[in-house]
Structure 1
Amino acid sequence: MASNIREAERLICINIKSFIADLCLIDKSFLIENVINANHNNINDVIESSSEMFFKPGTLCYAFSSRLTERYNTVPAISLDMRFSHKHVLVPFLLHIEDDFVGVSLAGTKLENKSPSIALSQLSDALYEARIYDRFNSSSPQDTISPQPPFCH
């Protein structure tokens, strides 16, 4: 079961890497300030702006919840509640943003079929179908299952 979760995290991370790259261009202090002040509409605007170039509308969304993790002698880590939704696949996940690290952790899944291998296949297909042509990453469906770590740097 844990390996399926890691595989789902890896699939999400691989397929949203261009979105992550665009999001990371935003000044972290802007995100931190908006998380502190619970300005979820501002965070949502940033997420929508970054995702609209890579995903069909409404497929990659901010779930209007976020948190900071204080760390000693460095900028706080940001965690944004996100949601990927396409066809019968709904995957809530956390997007973790730190100084030199961006990661994805699954928060739950709702897939039409509960079989792990079919669920991963549905997720992979849904991620591929939800994407708009990505000028930074011209991957095919086979690329979505290439071996990579579950976290992006």
Structure 2
Amino acid sequence: MLNVRNKHAAERERLVANGLREVVAELRLVEPADYVAFLRMDAFGNIADIVESSAQLYLAPGVLRFAESGEEHLSWGSAPTIDLDLELRLPEVSVHFRLTLTATRAAVHINYIAFKDPDADPSVNTQRLAKAIEAARMRTAPRV
């Protein structure tokens, strides 16, 4: 039997990941060694600036912020993995999640989600999340 909670969690993580795909592409332009240094030196302001500048072309101001926490995973013979704790602040919902960046992929894991006036039906809340993310995205002029 399928766990309904996991089904909704996976769908919500997919929505967040798809909604932030351009921002994640920008975040991946930063060298992993820079993230490692910033995390190890508690230079969270530097990461916050990177997140803010990466989001400014794609999301409304203040929608995405660095939650001043993260981890780096380094081992001999493998590429580094960077985990950044981020917060998506939307009018209808707040999402705290961990973004994992590797050399070849990115992944989103939601740690906490809070809906303003949540519906008893989880699928309705998931639809609200999708609409809120879409409303937060910046509209760009069509390419010619």
Amino acid at match of 1:92: H
TM-score (norm 2): 0.89
Residue of structure 1 in register with 2:64 after alignment = 60
Residue pair 1:83, 1:91 contacting (<8 A) in 2 also: yes
Whole-angstrom CA distance in 1 between matches of 2:107 and 2:72: 14
Shift of 1:135: 6.6
Give the paired residue count.
137
Q: State the partner residue of 2:129.
A: 123
Structure 1 stretches lacking a partner, 5+ long = 137-153
CA distance in 2, matches of 1:134, 1:26: 24
> Quick check: 1:133 aligned with 2:139?
yes
The 5 Å alignment of 1:1-150 reads: 1-112=5-116, 113-114=118-119, 115-134=121-140
Deviates more, 1:9-18 or 1:109-118: 109-118
Q: What's the CA shift string for 1:39-85, capped at 9, x where partnerless?
A: 10000000000001100111111111111123341232110000111
Q: Which amino acid in 2 is paired with 1:43?
A: I
State the TM-score, normalized to the length of structure 1: 0.84
Is the CA contact (8 Å cut-off) linking 2:32 and 2:80 kept in structure 1? Answer: no
Q: Which residue matches 1:150?
A: none
Give the superposed CA RMSD.
1.7
Q: How far 1:130 moved relative to its partner?
A: 0.5
Calculate percent identity across the aligned residue pairs: 24
Residue type of the alignment partner of 2:100: H
Deviation at 1:97, TM superposition (A): 0.6
Which has the higher relative contact order, 1 or 2, with Cα contacts under 8 A spaced 6 or more apart? Answer: 1
Task: Summarize the Cα distance change of 1:35–1:134 in structure 2 as closer, same or farther, 3 Å threshold.
Answer: farther
Measured in 1, the distance between the counterparts of 2:101 and 2:140 equals: 22
